[in-house]
Amino acid sequence: MALKTGIIGAGRIGTIHAENIARFIPQASLEGIADIKLTAEQEGWAKALGARIVSKDPADLLKDSSIEAIVICSSTDTHADFVIAASEAGKQIFCEKPVDLSVPKVKEALAAAKKAGVKLQIGFNRRFDHNFARIRKYTLAGEIGEVQIVKITSRDPAPPPPAYVAVSGGIFIDMAIHDFDMARFQAGSDITEVYATGAVLVDPEIGKAGDVDTALVTLRFANGAIGVIDNSRKAVYGYDQRVEVFGSKGAAQAENDVPNTVRLFNEKGVAAEKPLYFFLERYKQAFIDEMVSFINAVQGGKPVAVSGEDGLEDMYAAQAAGKSLKEKRPVAVDEIRRAY
C-alpha cells in the first residue's frame, strides 16, 4: 500500500516533494497540500497532481485520519510547531532542515515526536546524492580503512540577497549546515571541535549584514578523524559540491555532475561544460531518494536515515563555527551542547 502523505508548504521545496511523490514514488500517494498563502495557481497545480485535500489550513491535513505522513516544507520558523502538531496527530514526519534556529525549540519538537512514537526524518538530501552515498558505501565496505581526513567543498553559484543574509542565521546555519551533516555522515562520527575562519570577498553587503561569504571550517571528529569544509557564496562556474574521504587504506573522491560528457578539442585547447548549475539540478534524484528512504523507514518500521538528533548535532556544530569565527578560537561542540 502506498503511504498516504500530506504536504505543508507549497513553496519551492514543497513543490519538489509534491511532484516527486505524485509522479516518481509509487510507494507513496499525495493526499493533500496545504499552504497558508495558497494562491489560485498553486491550487490548480495541487489538484492537477491529484491531491484530494487542497487547503490554506495545514490542520486540514493533520485532522484527516487517512493521511499517514506529513512532509513539512513551510517557512523555517513554523517547522517546529508543525512537527509538534503532527506528532500529536500521530503522523509520521519528514521535516525540511533546520527544525528551528533555536536549539530549545528543536529539542521541544524532537521530544514531541519521541513522545508520540512517530518517526521524524530531517531533509538532509545530500546524504542521498549518488556520489556522496557511493563514498560512504566504500567506507562502510572497508575500502578506505579508518577515516582520517574528510574534505568537503561546498560553493553556491550566486549569493542570496543581503536582506536574506541578514535574517538567515549566518553562513554556517544557513548554508554550511548541510556540510556539517555531510561531514558527520562521511566521518561516521560526531564533531567535537571546530575552528572557523572566514572573509567577506564576494559582496561587501554581506559583511555589513554581519556575515562572511567565504569560509573555511576545520573539524575534529569523536573518532579521531579531522576534516575541513570550504564554503563560498559565489562560484562563477556553478554549484561546486565535492567530497573527499581519505583513510588508512585509500581515498575516495567525488567530482561534480555535468550536463554532458562532451569535450571539444580545438586550437585553443579542450573545453567541457560547467557543473550542473544549482541544487535543483544537482540533487534532483537525491530529493526523490531521501523521500523513498523515509517511506521505507516508515513502512518497514526501521530507523530513519537522518534523525532529529542528527539535525540537532548539525546545529551544534554550526553554532560552534559561528562562535569560533566571532571569538577567533577553536570551539568545542560540547561547549555549545552544554549551554542548553
Q: Does 269 bind its own copies (CB under 8 A)?
A: yes
Closest by CA position to 242, among listed 258, 253, 228:
253
Positions in 116-155 near its own copies (CB under 8 A): 130-131, 134-135, 138, 143-146, 148-149, 151, 153, 155
Query: Which listed range, 53-61, 71-79, 161-169, 221-229, lies at the site for its own copies (CB under 8 A)?
Result: 221-229
Q: How far apart are the first and last CA of the chain?
A: 42
Positions in 178-217 near its own copies (CB under 8 A): 193, 195, 197-199, 201-202, 214-216
Positions in 4-23 near its own copies (CB under 8 A): 23
| CB 170 to its own copies: min, Å | 17
| CB nearer its own copies, residue 12 or residue 249 | 249
| CB 273 to its own copies: min, Å | 5
Q: Does 170 bind its own copies (CB under 8 A)?
A: no
Alpha carbons 118 and 64: distance in angstroms, whole number: 17
| CB 26 to its own copies: min, Å | 8
| CB 102 to its own copies: min, Å | 29
Identified binder of its own copies from the candidate list 27, 76, 78, 256, rule CB under 8 A: 256
Alpha carbons 121 and 303: distance in angstroms, whole number: 9
Q: Does 220 bind its own copies (CB under 8 A)?
A: yes
Identified binder of its own copies from the candidate list 302, 329, 334, 340, rule CB under 8 A: 329
Q: Does 230 bind its own copies (CB under 8 A)?
A: yes
Longest dimension (CA), the chain: 67
| CB nearer its own copies, residue 163 or residue 199 | 199
Alpha carbons 48 and 18: distance in angstroms, whole number: 11
Alpha carbons 115 and 112: distance in angstroms, whole number: 5
Q: Does 338 bind its own copies (CB under 8 A)?
A: no
Alpha carbons 98 and 60: distance in angstroms, whole number: 24
Interface with its own copies (CB under 8 A), residue total: 71
Residue 61, burial from CB neighbour count under 10 angstroms (0-12, 13-18, 19+): buried
Positions in 22-51 near its own copies (CB under 8 A): 23-24
Q: Does 272 bind its own copies (CB under 8 A)?
A: yes
Alpha carbons 77 and 98: distance in angstroms, whole number: 9
| CB 25 to its own copies: min, Å | 11
| CB 184 to its own copies: min, Å | 17
Alpha carbons 49 and 284: distance in angstroms, whole number: 18
Q: How far is CA 149 from CA 14, 91, 152, 183, 246, in A?
A: 35, 39, 10, 10, 5
Q: Does 323 bind its own copies (CB under 8 A)?
A: no
Q: For residues 238 and 278, is the Cβ–Cβ distance under 8 A?
A: yes
Can you tell me which residue has the cell 541544487? 279
Identified binder of its own copies from the candidate list 253, 280, 281, 339, rule CB under 8 A: 253
